[in-house]
Structure 1
């Protein structure tokens, strides 16, 4: 009699468990919409080390301790890096590299524009130049940086401070606004 009761309870438990699994019919879209409504990321990644390649060549590396993926947003899908980000870009077959670091970042997937904040440092290793600011926008399509915040640009010959800065991704061909500092110029003959 004990065995029959035990088998009956076990059978009821298994049938209930199977019914519960088959009753869960939420589609992927329903789950994404639920997460978006609750302002939750669709995925969370920890200790990310991602290598981007183009035609078999490494073009950049992304390193971050935490990635929140909000690409389930309809209007403005984005990725959030709440614990900081480090990006290394490679140009000219890896001979020139630029390192970008910051304590917080957002990357908008549709526009390919990133906002990097808090202790932002960009280093062009081949030209030995360094840009420091508290907020920077990066247009990844155009390979272009810009900020309206205070900045400090240093290279082997100059140190420039100011408010408002634009440049190519490798810190060349820059425009600086409201500047102070020491700048060496070359005199060109007409």
Structure 2
């Protein structure tokens, strides 16, 4: 009695690990606290999470920052958001806006990173900052996460806002 075997061709693509989303959530609200005080509040219409802990917010992301008394100090929004788990780093893309309510400073860019560990925001892209009646333009910016103090790099075309202009 003899044994026979035949080698079947196996489609190797069937053996590749799945890299797609592992979960999806709608109308997400996340609170980050420190010493029992709410420090940030994140809202997103849709959150997609991957196995490695990375997240994507394809329909936009809004982040609100609070002071020790629970007052809103700064808001940040973007058309799309991303979170990289291994670096604990958020990235906003599209129409990105930051507003420091206390100083009435506003920032617009097409890309912005928020590093919660370093408590800073930054970008290497073009930025417009409105501070009272003055517009500052530049490429590259770094600030504390509350957008209280900032450094603007490669400053170009800064000017005073004319009456009636916004």
TM-score by length of 2: 0.80
The residue aligned with 2:61 is: 85
CA distance in 2, matches of 1:51, 1:173: 24
Largest Rg, 1 or 2: 1
Please report how far the alpha carbon of residue 130 of structure 1 lies from its aligned counterpart in structure 2 after TM superposition.
0.6
2-structure distance, mates of 1:123, 1:106:
20
SS in 2 for 1:42: strand
Counterpart Cα distance in 2 of 1:127 and 1:96: 12
Q: Which SS does the other structure have where 1:138 is aligned?
A: strand
| Count of aligned positions | 145
Secondary structure of the residue aligned to 2:33 is strand
1:133 counterpart = 2:109: yes
1:49 is matched with which residue: 17, 25, 29?
29
Structure 2 residue 65 is matched with structure 1 residue 65:
no
Unaligned residue ranges in structure 2 (runs of 5+): 1-13, 161-166
Larger RCO (alpha carbons 8 Å, 6+ apart): 2
Identify the structure with the greater helix proportion.
Answer: 1
Structure 1 length normalisation: TM-score?
A: 0.70
Distance, in Å, in 2 between the alignment partners of 1:178 and 1:111 is 27
In structure 1, which of residues 120, 123, 128 is the aligned counterpart of residue 96 of structure 2? 120
Q: Does 1:40 align with 2:20?
A: yes
* Counterpart secondary structure, 2:21: coil
Matched residue SS, 2:87 = coil
Query: Structure 1 CA distance, aligned partners of 2:37 and 2:137?
Result: 36
Q: 1:95: how far off?
A: 3.1
Distance 1:96 1:50 in 2: 15
Q: CA deviation at 1:55?
A: 2.9
- Structure with the higher strand share, 1 or 2: 2
Aligned residue in 1 for 2:123: 147
